[in-house]
């Protein structure tokens, strides 16, 4: 179901997200690495970051997703889930920075209690608080992370 090895903590959080969706009656099919597909065929890129101080840097490969799910770790055992729907992704697609490998960069900042995407190209900060799931995603802590 999931790739073995590497990026183990990110994979732990992706597994927790996968299980949560399944438990909520919205199962996903794992396609590859950070990418899933829902029952309607919508491709979700699911990426995780542990950066602190109210700032997370995340990335996904251009062309591999329709919607972005940003897992922003807030505690060792929990992350905020920001699910950016297709209309949002389409609207802001061109304002997001890309690197030479074709990865789209998402810089998420928590500013005055709001979660925002801080485009790396000249644009105003975009409030994405409406796309933050109510409950944090809880993910068991492995012994090596304690």
Q: Rounded distance, CA 121 to CA 134, Å? A: 29
pLDDT of residue 144: 61
Q: How does the average pLDDT of the chain come out, rounded?
A: 89
Residue 41 lies in a domain: yes
Q: Is the dihedral of CA 140, 19, 41, 90 positive or negative?
A: negative
- CATH number, domain containing residue 20: 3.40.1350
pTM for the model stands at: 0.89
Residue 3 lies in a domain: no
Domain that holds residue 111: 8-145
Structural domain total, the chain = 1
Which has more pLDDT, 4 or 40?
40
Residue 86 lies in a domain: yes
Residues 95-136 have pLDDT tens digits of: 888 899 989 989 999 989 999 998 766 668 899 999 999 999
């Amino acid at each position: 179901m999931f790739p073995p090895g590497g990026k183990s903590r990110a994979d732990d959080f992706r597994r927790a997200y996968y299980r949560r969706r399944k438990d909520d009656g919205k199962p996903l099919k794992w396609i590859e690495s950070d990418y899933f597909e829902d029952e309607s065929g919508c491709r979700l890129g699911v990426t995780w970051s542990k950066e602190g101080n109210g700032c997370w840097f995340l990335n996904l490969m251009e062309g591999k997703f329709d919607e972005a799910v940003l897992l922003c770790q807030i505690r060792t055992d929990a992350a905020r889930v920001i699910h950016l729907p297709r209309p949002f992704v389409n609207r802001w697609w061109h304002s997001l920075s890309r690197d030479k490998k074709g990865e789209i960069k998402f810089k998420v900042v928590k500013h005055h209690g709001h979660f925002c995407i801080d485009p790396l190209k000249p644009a105003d900060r975009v409030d994405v608080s409406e796309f933050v799931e109510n409950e944090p995603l809880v993910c068991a802590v492995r012994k090596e992370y304690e």
